[in-house]
Structure 1
């Protein structure tokens, strides 16, 4: 149990740093594009494409952190039920559904990378496997967080780790 909690928190930290770095990169690319377009009158042709691909990675990597911290979309249908055991099982079942979708995303993302990964981006020449790989990496990260949340819901005080509280 302790390993699962550590992995969940580790993925949250990795996701935080990855999203932060990608956000900084995206802003710098946008600033470079605006500067070269309006100040130098010679725009960088590849920055728009890179910002688009950075946004794809931001989306998939950020899903894990958003889920871990409870900022992701949630189902509150049974929020008024005060039974703690029911709430724990409810959260575990919801996370099992999320885990099922993660497995689907990982599987289909891997197939997509294998079948279409050799394509290259028009402006940068970047192999698209690096862009499509965001689905696989994000799916794995979200799956680890989902497993962490299932264990946290069903065993809230296991190994002296508070349930759902990332460290």
Structure 2
């Protein structure tokens, strides 16, 4: 694994860890308020939902890099090396096409939803932070997680596709993520 890939993974794991810690803290506070004080925080569940959306899409690239996304490799492992590289190349290309659709239509949906605001943002702005008026945070920032996550996963797949093309040219079996060196 290159130094750049290692730095990327460390950054993503740190960001995802921070997001999960915030999500956990907000849910613990929500449980305390709901059952301990009998006064629910009306914004907590919405904030957790938005954080979970972002975590889900951002984690796809890291999960793929670690070999933690389900894959059917039975056929690839049963055929000769050159055929395995060709099959992996076709599969990666198909995934990139799907991710391209997710990027394009995810972006369109994020832009389309940009006129709507997050109700939780107003509650946090007024009730927690003591602000006046409206926070006017757009739902664009929630839905843009789709194209961002798809683009990050697409980068991983594109790198693997290039490796499969090199394997096809050299006649060697393609490498798949998830080996011991990818778990570090």
Per the normalisation by structure 2, the TM-score is 0.75
Q: Does 1:88 align with 2:99?
A: no
Alignment coverage as a number of residue pairs:
159
Distance 2:35 2:15 in 1: 30
Correspondence for 1:148 among 159, 166, 183: 159
Per the normalisation by structure 1, the TM-score is 0.82
Structure 2: 5+ residue runs without aligned partners? 123-136, 168-174
Please list the CA deviations of residues 126-160 of structure 1 after superposition, one character each: whole Å capped at 9, or x if unmatched: 3101100100110110110111111233336xxxx
Greater mean alpha carbon deviation, residues 52-61 or residues 19-28: 19-28
Structure 1: 5+ residue runs without aligned partners? 157-162
The question of whether the paired residues in 2 share the 8 Å contact of 1:18 and 1:61 is answered with: no
The question of whether the paired residues in 2 share the 8 Å contact of 1:66 and 1:72 is answered with: yes
Larger relative CO (CA 8 A, sep 6+): 1 or 2?
1
Aligned-residue offset at 1:56: 0.8
Please, what is the CA RMSD of the aligned residues? 2.5
The question of whether the paired residues in 2 share the 8 Å contact of 1:49 and 1:124 is answered with: no
- Pair 109,44 (structure 1): closer, same or farther in 2 beyond 3 Å: same
Partner of 1:70, secondary structure, is coil
Moved over 4 A (4+): 5-11
